[in-house]
Structure 1
Amino acid sequence: MGFSKKTILTIALIGALVGFAALGATTYAITATSTTEFCLSCHTMQIPNEEYQSSIHYSNAKGFRAECVDCHLPPDTLGYLIAKIRATKDIYHEFITKKISTEEKYEAHRLEMAEMVWEQMRANNSASCRECHNPEAMDTYEQTEDTVKIHEYGIENSLTCIDCHKGIAHFPPVIELDSEAFNNLLSHTENVPADAKRVYTVEGADMGELGRINPAVQLELISSNDNQREVKISGYQMKGAEQVIYLAEGKRAIIAMLSEQGQAALTVSEFKADEYNNEWRSAELTATIDAPVLASSEPLWEYAEQLDNVYCAGCHAIIPSHHFTVNAWGPIAKGMGDRTDISALDLEILTKYFQNHAKDLVDSNH
């Protein structure tokens, strides 16, 4: 017995209505659960919300505001739905495991959560970022020279937005290098051959009344007696700054600070003007030190690379040391270091690593 046309039409109509109702309910549910207000209904989102409200994505001169969905959900339909399904685990942790229910728990899992988001954004080539930030539309005349260079470097090396802009809306994880790494570095100072030709300071070295040598500086070893070493420091001075010895002519990497007695004890050449009319001269100073030193720069630079991986790569992709000049690295390292918890000594060692391997010194013997 067949159905009448009226019955078939009625069934089809009911099916269509049910389908539209289901589609409408689904659309409403997806839309409602994609608002910032919905995200903040979980108390565990109060910490990231406070960070977000202090970021340029919340308040800026342009008057644009990026909501949670704009950054955390890919713009393509399939990626959007997959991200929504993946996010159901957040509900599980919110009400069942209470994995990040306190500030202490949140901080304990900050790195894990950040790395998960970073990896997702790398996988889709930072598609959410590119919805608003189109490299082709960037006005390079409004950018600093260094910013233009970094963007060019990123494009040339197939980096994606999140590789460099990890802490743009939320605080990046605080990562510190444990003391074992530094203790391992110091262990290399225990067996320095008496006949070594060159030695390298670790924490710097006092020269008595002559002044002080900075950390990570190459010295010529003249003689050694137990912990007392006679060394020669060689570098350059700029006229008007005779209290300073720099790494090389025109290269403002400070390797020693001198007292008046230290300046008087120098062996120097005549000042000669460079292409910028700054006058430079070579300078040498012989002094006695008792600070720990290394017989090779290798463990020093290995330690610096660890610092780079922890304190620099925690926020952006590793920038090769040969990307900038000696003079550029100084302010760049200081500016970036101020945003981290890196110690003054570690920052100096890291800066010297960058400067000794800068693009205008890559062929030197430093």
Structure 2
Amino acid sequence: MNKKWIFLICVVCIVIGIGLTTLVGWGLKQTSETGFCLSCHTMQTPYEEYQGSVHFQNQKGIRAECKDCHIPEGGLDYLVTKLRASKDVYHQFVTGKIDTPEEYDAHRLEMAQTVWNQMKSNDSATCRSCHSMDAMDLQKQSHDAQKMHALAVKENQTCIDCHKGVAHFPPEITVDSKALDTLTAEAEKTPADAQQRFALTPTPIGTSGTVYTATKMKVLRQIEGGQQVEITGSQMQGAEQVIYLATGQRMVIASLTPEGIQALKPLGEWQKDSYGNSWRNVSLEGPITQPALANPEPLWRYAKSLDTAYCSGCHAPIAADHYTLNAWPSIAKGMGARTDISDENLDILTRWFQYHAKDAAR
């Protein structure tokens, strides 16, 4: 074969290569457009959710399209993401996996987790294509946002750790409705000779008052239908009707009736804290007849499931020891108001945070 033919074959191969590369590039670009995504009817649900988000309409008139959040810009991550997307086409036309709204919701957590994992693995590359921690003016952010962004930098978190529901509804992670019943059953099986008990629910202590969830009670002796117990804590002048966990730590472990206030046994003298409030350690004895746990661990396991369901579904878990015992109630109440968590469950979750706070009395 002479040089002329070799040259022509090389030219043809180059032209074909350029043509194929251009065609593939054009195809990849076209299949990344929002219009292409919406050609599948299964994308109508996420599109409607996206239309109600700040990424679709905002005061600055900047819109993030599907590709801006779901497809990294160039490189290997871009190609890997496009290859992964082939499964969406497969499920759209072959399996019909999410053909109905009911099927879509049934697989919402699975799909969301897939995206979260991908964004976690690439350090939220698509988020960072628009947002940069270095470019943020933290002083113009809310107080809570400033704290959370500072925490994110300190703990090397990525965007998706906290911003899971920015464009689509987060999946509903439910708590086993029978879990609390299981705890009650476990409390009923607490051995009669257990030396200590922990209140599972608000528990009357005779006519002296009410002992609250997770409060530790020392068993003094068995009585008919229950136990004679003792609780210890701290009392503050001006709030004598309650017992707190410890001096300066305002977690109420028991509320008292006038009779209960009279029955308190002082364990020391009044002493002032750094804020000028006077405290003293006290104890209270009385009978309980409601079932109680032999140790708090089953209650804490339940609390952690509440944390996963109502907190971690929207942002990365926040360690209980990140805040002080006194700070947790307002934080938990504020976040709980954004969910449908019951008052009873919110109290259990809050107490778990408080008992494990960085300054909690051990």
TM bucket, shorter chain:
0.7 to 0.9
Residues 4, 322 of structure 1: CA spacing in aligned structure 2 closer, same or farther, 3 A cutoff? closer
CA distance in structure 1 between the partners assigned to 2:236 and 2:60 by the alignment: 44
* C-alpha displacement of 1:326: 0.3
Partner of 1:187: 185
| 2:160 maps to which of 138, 162, 170 | 162
**1:349 corresponds to 2:358:** no
Matches within 5 A, 1:195-344: 195-207=193-205, 210-267=208-265, 272-344=271-343
CA positional deviation for 1:118: 1.3
Provide the C-alpha distance between the structure 1 equivalents of 2:273 and 2:77, rounded to a whole number of angstroms.
58
Contact 2:234 2:246 in 1 (8 A): yes
2:352 is aligned with what amino acid? Answer: Y
1:53 Cα offset (Å): 2.5
Q: Is the 8 A contact 2:231 2:285 kept in 1?
A: yes
Letter in 2 for 1:217: T
- TM-score w.r.t. the length of structure 1 is 0.85
Q: Provide the rounded CA distance (Å) in 1 between the counterparts of 2:275 and 2:144.
A: 21
Letter of the 1:314 partner, please give it: G
Partner SS, residue 173 of structure 2: coil
| Partner Cα distance (1:261, 1:159) in 2 | 52
**Which shifted more, 312-321 or 97-106?**
312-321
What stretches of structure 1 of length at least 5 have no aligned partner? none
Query: How many angstroms apart in 2 are the aligned matches of 1:62 and 1:216?
Result: 49
Q: How does 1:75-154 map to 2 (within 5 A)?
A: 75-144=73-142, 147-154=145-152
Q: Deviations over 1:258-279 (max 9, x none)?
A: 4455445444576544222344
- Residues 175-221 of structure 1 deviation map (CA, whole Å, 9 limit, x = unaligned): 12314543443333234344544210012213465443221211232
From 53, 57, 62, the equivalent of 2:55 is 57
Contact 2:208 2:257 in 1 (8 A): yes
Encode CA deviations 1:200-254: one digit per residue, 9 max, x unaligned: 0012213465443221211232332253233333333444444433222222222
CA shift, 1:341, in A, is 4.1
Query: What is the percentage of aligned positions where both structures have the same residue?
Result: 48
Between stretches 42-51 and 283-292, larger displacement belongs to 283-292
Q: CA RMSD in A?
A: 3.1
Q: In the alignment, is residue 69 of structure 1 matched against residue 67 of structure 2?
A: yes
Shift in CA distance, 281/55, structure 1 to aligned 2, threshold 3 Å: farther
Give yes or no for contact 1:233–1:284 (8 Å, CA) kept in 2.
yes
Once the two structures are superposed, residues 155-180 of structure 1 have per-residue CA deviations (whole angstroms, 9 ceiling, x without a partner) of 44443222232223222221123145
CA 1:198 to 1:104, structure 2 compared with 1: closer, same or farther past 3 Å? same
Alpha-carbon separation, structure 1, partners of 2:57 and 2:225: 57
Q: Is the 8 A contact 1:176 1:341 kept in 2?
A: no
| Distance across 1 between alignment mates of 2:98 and 2:225 | 52
Q: 1:47 aligns with which of 45, 70, 91?
A: 45
Alpha-carbon distance in 1 for matches of 2:269, 2:59: 53
Q: How many residues align?
A: 361
* Cα separation, 1, equivalents of 2:144 and 2:280: 30
Residues 263 and 350 from structure 1, CA distance in 2 versus in 1: closer, same or farther, beyond 3 angstroms? same
1:31-42 → structure 2 map (5 Å cutoff)? 31-42=29-40
The runs of at least 4 aligned residues of structure 1 exceeding 6 Å deviation read none
Q: Deviations over 1:60-113 (max 9, x none)?
A: 455433221111111233211221122122122122221111111011111111
Letter in 2 for 1:347: L
Contact 1:199 1:294 in 2 (8 A): yes
Task: Confirm or deny: 8 A CA contact 2:172 2:309 kept in the other structure.
Answer: no
Deviation, structure 1 residue 322: 1.4
Structure 1 Cα separation of the partners of residues 87 and 214 of structure 2 = 48
How far did 1:325 drift? 0.7
Equivalent position amino acid for 2:320 in 1: S
Note the residue ranges of structure 2 that are not aligned, 5 or more in a row. none
- SS at 1:287 equivalent: strand
Whole-angstrom distance in 1 between the partners of 2:234 and 2:79: 62
**Which whole-Å CA distance do the structure 2 matches of 1:193 and 1:173 have between them?**
40
Which whole-Å CA distance do the structure 1 matches of 2:263 and 2:310 have between them? 39
